[in-house]
Structure 1
Amino acid sequence: MLLGRYNTEGRLQYVGRTTALSRAAGTAVAGLLAVARRGHPWTGWSAGWGSQETLNVALVEPGLVVEVGVDVARDASGRWRHPARFHCARPDLSPA
C-alpha cells in the first residue's frame, strides 16, 4: 500500500509504502477504499531506486487513515526509507 500525508499547503505527498498486507487485512482495507476520481495527484509509479520501469498501481481516493509502524530513518524528501508495517485502518479518523 502506498502511503501519503497532506503537507502544510494541503498537497498530498508520498511518504512511503507498507510491507505486503495479509489476505485478511487486504480484504478489510479494500472494502473501505473508493477508486480515485480524475485529478488524483499521483500518476505512474517507479518500480524502485534508479528504475525507469513504472508499476501498475490502483489509485484510490486519499481519504482513509491507517495506523502503521515505521522505522525512524527518512530520506532527504522526508519519506520513510524502509517499508511501514500496517497495523489497522482507522475509518474513525479523517485525514488532516
Structure 2
Amino acid sequence: MVDADRIVLRSRRGTEMGPASPEIAAGAVHLPDATVMDGELVVWDTAGCLAFERLQNRLARRGAGPVRAAEEWPAHFVAFDLLRLSGTETTGWPYRRRRAALESVFAARRVFAPWSLCPSTTDPAAVREWLSWASVGMEGVVFKRFTDPYGRR
C-alpha cells in the first residue's frame, strides 16, 4: 500500500515487511498515492532462482542489516492485482478491469525494478511452460476469471 508517500508492505498474516525491504519502499515513489496492490515479495539468488530463505533472513534483520541485505540480495515486488487506485476501491471491479488499470499504472508511471508486473496470459501453452519453471523455484500460477471481483479462494 502506498499512502501519503509512505509504503506499507504486509504479509498475508499481517507481518510488516517494509523495514526489511528499503529498496521496495524507494521504488514506490512512482506509484499513485492511496494505491494498494496484491503481489509477492521475492528475492533471487545468483543462479536466478527464487530464494525464499534469503527473504526470510532479511525479515529477521534490524538496524543497518536490511540495507546491507538489500545490497547483497535485492528484493522485488511482483504485482498481480490492484485493490485500490488513488483512493478508489477496485475490489468490486472484474479482474479484466483491475488488470487493465494495473497495467496502465505500470506504463503511465513508468514503474520499474524493483517493482514488476506479473506476466498474464490466456494461452494454455504459456501456462504449461510457466509451470515447468520449478527449477527456478516457481511453485504455481495465479488463476483469475476475467469477470470475477477480487477475492481469495
TM range (shorter): under 0.3
TM, length-normalised to structure 1: 0.27
Where relative contact order (Cα < 8 A, 6+ residues apart) is larger, the structure is 1
